Amino acid sequence: MQRHKPHRMYGQQSNSAPEQQEHPKDRFSSEDAFLKDEAMLFGQESSSTEGETTGGESSVSEQEQASLNTPSVDVEELCKAEIAEIRLRAAAEMENFKKRLAREHEEQMRYAAEKVMGDLLPTLDNLDLALQYGSKNEACKDMFQGVSMTHKLLLEAVAKHGLKQVGEEGEEFDPNVHEAVGFEDRPDFAPNSVARVLQHGYKLGERLLRPAKVMVRQ
């Protein structure tokens, strides 16, 4: 009776051939290479690689966007500080404006009578001349007293509005309030002093309306 040889399964090696043991690492490497070849065949590897690249760029852009959306300085606090500074500056400017208006008003009120006082200066000059020449005449003694009293009352009235007389004999010569018109020798006076007053000067407050015309002792 004829014996049949057993059939070999597909993939099995014959018992007659020497058995070769396959290392697991080599088996995995061959499988990976096979899978890679199939992926390249169907275009899956390139798409996977592109996906990874696209995903990396997307993640980078998201990080940059997040960094841009996170401000380094609080904008609201900056706005509040700027508004507070503007308010302080506006308040300071308003306060300075009020002070300037008050100063201008005070100066205007102080020198409002400047024109009127200037118009009174010739009258005061005439009274001075009347007193100067009337004192030398005995016949005008009574009139001299009346003119002297009028002159005194008028000086007191204008002094209430800030007008005062400048220029007296014997005082030191001051070019700020005196106008020298000549020299006169007065032994009883010190050098560089007012020897004689030809015309009184007047000041309204701190403002000089007219300098005094004087003779200076050399």
For the segment 150-209, what is each residue's pLDDT rounded down to a tens digit?
Answer: 999 999 999 988 899 999 999 999 999 999 999 998 888 889 999 999 999 999 888 899
130 and 191 assigned to the same domain:
yes
**The pLDDT value given to residue 133:** 81
Q: Which domain holds residue 44?
A: 26-67
Q: Is residue 58 part of a domain?
A: yes
Residue 118's CATH number: 2.30.22.10
CA atoms within 13 A on the CB side of 70: 6
210 and 125 assigned to the same domain:
yes
**pTM of the predicted structure, to 2 decimals:** 0.52
172 and 203 assigned to the same domain:
yes
**The pLDDT value given to residue 90:** 92
- Rounded to the nearest 10 degrees, how much is the dihedral formed by the CA atoms of 169, 172, 175, 180? 40
Share of the chain above pLDDT 70, in %: 67
- How many structural domains comprise the chain? 3
